[in-house]
Every structure is written in structure tokens, then in C-alpha cells.
Amino acid sequence: MEIWLPYGQVEVAIDIKAENLAEVLKPDIQRLDDGFLYEVLDSVEIEDKSMILLSDITSATLKVMTSLIELQIEKGRSQKNFFITAPEDRLNVVKRALEEKHINITSMGEPVEDVGIVDGFRVKVPRALFEHRRIIISEVSFDPLFGFGGGSVSLIRAIDSRLMAEAFKRRLDDNPKPGLDTNAAWFASRVAEEVGEFTSIEVLNRSGEVSELFLGNMVDVHSKASKKLYESSKIVLHRPARAMLVGLGDPLRSLTLSSSIRSLWNVLGGLDKDGIVALLAECSEGLGSEAFKLYTTDRLKLDEFIKRGGYVEGLEDLIYLKTALQTYSIILTSTLPNYYSEIKLGLRTAKKASDALNYILNNFGTRTKFYVIPDASNILPTFQTKNQSQ
């Protein structure tokens, strides 16, 4: 049986015998018709000078951003009426998406304006947030630290790395918690209240396409979007999976190891103890986060750094990886050098998806059944325990 899984910009075929296939797990999410997408975005008016904050750079959010701007131009709005701000390391991606439009695209700037105190921490934001009407385009997703990404979580990631450090300190343990309420999420929502009103556009992504849009104030929009994602993505298995083959539907999620592995935490809730998961992630732009770069070049002593209360971008994913490897085996098929993935991070590697499949069959037995997950970003498998079924 031939099954296709995403790998960067392409898909690769994997031959799995029928007796080895347990199930292909997909979320109950459909692609949004382009006509309806334009109809929803048509209700957004940009008359005064406005700032569009694009925090989550994915295929779906880029499509929403370009569609919104095209609609405004069709209405006769001047391109000088709005500018785009995005994370500095992703500005080139945004510029490529808008290369035929003369839009001002810039990074957010330093947080200098004091807006209040949240749980003992003084919150500062970039001055640009007070100089323009504010629109935020974010993507609702499962997040291992906050439970759900998007909305206020996307906001604090964009405006000040110190806010991420504070959110990180509020975690209860070193296990990822996608789809759950967390202390970090509470902190992010309180920060958003202090920052003030945004027009929020939250996107539900289906394999790189827009599935649904939510418009309104940030708190209500994020609540509705998170509920929709959870209800459409949670799958209860009758028994824990022994092995999984996992892909990433949106090619932009597969660019780096840090962006790829974030989706892996979603599927571990359905994996048996001592189970094995194979992740297909091209990682064409390398390791990604500062935490992975520092750790793999011996510039980050993890335990000492955490004890001192330190934080760098992506630290939570490095910690979750270390924790997960104590329970599960993780195979990575990517373009990364084995030196980083195997020797430094402790992952197993496979040059091809078929090599990962053969490794699992050779080590777990030829009767091993696989769960195949084409898009781990929007799936949340769990299994029903005996106590739950009674």
C-alpha cells in the first residue's frame, strides 16, 4: 500500500503492507473556499494608518495577509495606509510574499513603552504599537508551553523575548502540554489585556491552506479558534500506538528543526511508553532556534542555565526533547548533518522514510502496526485508559 507524506515542498511515497497499517490519522478540517475567505476579510476596513502584526509566518497566514492587502487596494486604499511588521528573522519570507506590492515591511522595534505590571513583571512594548491602528494576524495551533498558540501567545512572542522568558518560568514541569490550559497561557492573556485593543484575525491552517478565519477582539477570537482546533483535532485511540510515521502539512513548518519538532509534541499523547515515532522534516534552513544552535555547539550548559533562570528562544523545545527521549525513540529524516541530530541531540536518523520504516520493523517486529499522520500540526491523538472507558 502506497502512502504519501509531506517532506518540505514535496511528498514522498512510503510502501506499507496492509497488515502493518493501523490507521491514517487526519483532523476533521476542510479547506476554506477562496471566495468565502475574501468575503470574511472584506469586513476589515483599513482607513487610517494601520500596523499589521504578522507573528506566525505560515503558508496560511501569508495568504490571509496578502488577501487582506489586495482587498484594501481594490477598495482604493493607499498602500501608505498600512505597513507590515514581522519577526526580524522572517522578514525575507514576508517580503517575498509581497514582492509586487510597495508595502512598508519592518521589524517590530525595541520594547520601550511601559504599559503595566503583570504578576510582578513590568511589561514594555514597542512604541509603534501606540502610533497606529493595530491588526494582528496569527495562527491558532497547539503549543507545548501555552497549550494553544495564536492570539495573545503570538503577541508576546513578537513584542519582547523577556515576556517569553517570564512565561517559561511559569511552567509546572518539563513535559509538553499541547491543548491544555497552562500558567504560561494565563500570563500571555494578562499581558494582552495590558497592551490593549487589537483587531484580531486568527487563522486555522490545514496543510498550508486556510481552513477557517476568526475575526474580532483578541480574547474572544482566540477562545473560539482554540475550541474549534481542539474539537476537530482530538482523536481517541482504543490503545496506545506502538509506532508512528509523522509528516508536516505546511512546508513552512518544515524549514528548521525547531519549527518541525514543535508539532511532534502533539502526537506523543497517543504513543505507547517505549514507542517509536519517525518524523519527516526537511529542515532545509538548519537547526532554527537559538537554543538548538547554542546547545549543539557546546555553548549552552542546559541544567546550569535553567537553574540561573535563563532563557533563549526555543529553550522549551530543547527541554521537551530531552524529556521525551527518556520515554520514546525518535527517528528524524531530514537534511541535517547526523553530527547535530544524532551525536548532539540524541535522535536516531534515517536518510529516507523507507529506511525509518525498515528500522522500526527490524527492531519492533514485522507485525508492528503503524499510525500514519500526514500533518502533525493539527492532530492531537490520545488513548482511552481502562478507567476512562468504565
Q: Measured between alpha carbons, how far is 371 from 10 in angstroms, rounded to an integer?
A: 21
Q: Which burial class, exposed, middle or buried, applies to 252 when counting CB atoms under 10 A from its CB (0-12, 13-18, 19+)?
A: buried
Residue at 285: amino acid letter: E
**Closest C-alpha to 321, from 177, 180, 176:** 176
**Closest C-alpha to 153, from 69, 221, 95:** 221
Q: Measured between alpha carbons, how far is 366 from 369 in angstroms, rounded to an integer?
A: 9
Q: Measured between alpha carbons, how far is 205 from 249 in angstroms, rounded to an integer?
A: 9
Residue 336 makes CB contacts below 8 A (sequence gap 6+) with: 257, 283, 286, 287, 349
The angle that helices 152-159 and 161-169 make with each other, rounded to 10 degrees, is: 120
Q: Measured between alpha carbons, how far is 181 from 31 in angstroms, rounded to an integer?
A: 27
Q: Residue with C-alpha cell 477557517?
A: 212
Domains of the chain (ranges, CATH numbers): 2-27+238-389 (3.90.226.30), 34-230 (3.40.50.11440)
Residue 236 has phi, psi (to 5 degrees) of: -95, 120
Radius of gyration of the CA atoms of the chain, in A: 21
Sign of CA dihedral 209, 212, 215, 221: negative
pLDDT in tens, the chain (390 residues): 899 999 988 999 999 999 999 999 998 878 888 889 999 999 888 777 888 999 888 889 999 999 998 898 888 887 777 788 888 778 888 888 887 777 888 888 888 899 999 999 999 998 888 888 899 999 999 999 999 999 999 999 998 889 999 999 999 999 999 999 999 999 999 999 999 888 999 999 888 889 999 999 998 999 999 999 999 999 999 899 999 999 998 888 899 999 999 999 999 999 999 999 999 999 999 999 999 999 999 999 999 999 998 999 999 999 999 999 999 999 999 999 999 999 999 999 999 999 999 999 999 999 999 999 999 999 999 987 654 443
**Closest C-alpha to 68, from 11, 3, 137:** 137
Q: Which three cell numbers stand for residue 219?
A: 480574547
Residue 216 has phi, psi (to 5 degrees) of: 150, -150
